[in-house]
Amino acid sequence: MASYEENTFWGDLKQNWTYSATWDAKTGTVEEQKVDQTGHDMFCPGTSYDESGKVIITGGSTPSALSVYDPEHDSYYTPIDNSTKRPTVLKVPRGYQGQTFLPTGKTFMIGGAWSGSVNGVKDSDRDGEIYDPASGASKKLMNVNASYIKMDPSVSCCCKEPGPPCKMDGWRQHHAWLFAWKKNSIFHAGPSKRMNWFFTEPTADGVVPADGLVKLGGSREDHGDAVCGITSMYDAENGVILVAGGAPNYHYWHTVVILITCNRATVIACRQPTKHSK
């Protein structure tokens, strides 16, 4: 997905469509299309795949929208919320959020204060939220607060630099690295150095309430905050995540590569990362 034009993004002109391109690996061809059937400008959204290969697209320049791309039929659509009989909308408007698909079939998202606002406040916390395709509804998780994923303000704007002044605003909760794992857990690996475990499915014993649960997952003290870094869980069985690049804010860049290994004995812990300099 791009934006409302092939070579233009985010500005004063708000549109309700997106230019999209699909690459066919078999033929090597790229096909462009204008997606206007969902009323969604998808610039800088949250994206994740479900178990059938559909792409769940949330927020972005249209911060409360939710669209689904079905690659089998090459079509986009908006789900219907069964409780309202209207198109599904996010409970929390957001852009630049983190998002991941869960084994339950649901989709979890958190953060992303780049677009939209909450109660008229643009840089407000964008708390955790879960979309359930079975009901078509999205639910805010009151206990999974965006404050858990924020980067450290003491280092976010620590150094004078050329160019625009550094601002400690909503981007501190952008681009969360989320990995669905065992026992209905979600590991938040960054970009904040403080990592967390999120639980979204209530348990019969009440340990995990209906509004979710957060437990600390360790800290990448040697690496630090790393917004705009890249991550991949390349060993899912052992929970090994590769992290490269990133910085304490959008203006500085790390050159280290680290590994985060989630503790195999319990999903409520994470070992300290091993750091490899390059």
Confidence band for 164, pLDDT divided at 50, 70 and 90: low
Higher pLDDT, 265 or 75: 75
pLDDT of residue 269: 34
Give me the count of residues in the chain.
Answer: 278
| Contact of 273 with 260, CB cutoff 8 Å | yes
pLDDT of residue 272: 36
Closest to 247 measured CA to CA, from 229, 226, 231: 226
Share of the chain above pLDDT 70, in %: 78
∠ Cα 21 22 23 (to 5°): 120
Share of the chain above pLDDT 90, in %: 50
For 230, other C-beta atoms within 10 Å of its C-beta total 13
Q: Give the pTM.
A: 0.86
Type and span of the H or E element at 186? strand 185-190
Confidence band for 35, pLDDT divided at 50, 70 and 90: very high
Mean pLDDT of 250-256: 59
Q: Tokens 């091993």, residue?
A: 274
Confidence band for 188, pLDDT divided at 50, 70 and 90: very high
Mean pLDDT of 138-144: 96
Minimum mean pLDDT among 81-85, 201-205, 247-251: which range? 247-251
Higher pLDDT, 200 or 120: 200
Query: Does a cis peptide bond (omega within 30 degrees of 0) precede residue 191?
Result: yes
pLDDT of residue 275: 39
Please, which residues have CB within 8 angstroms of residue 27's CB and are 6 or more apart in sequence?
none
pLDDT reading at 6 higher than 80: no
For 24, other C-beta atoms within 10 Å of its C-beta total 9
| Contact of 191 with 125, CB cutoff 8 Å | no
How many Å apart are CA 145 and CA 263, to the nearest integer?
Answer: 24
pLDDT of residue 166: 61
Please, which residues have CB within 8 angstroms of residue 237's CB and are 6 or more apart in sequence?
none
Instruction: Write phi, then psi, for 43 (nearest 5 degrees).
Output: -65, 125
- Mean pLDDT score of the chain, rounded to an integer? 83
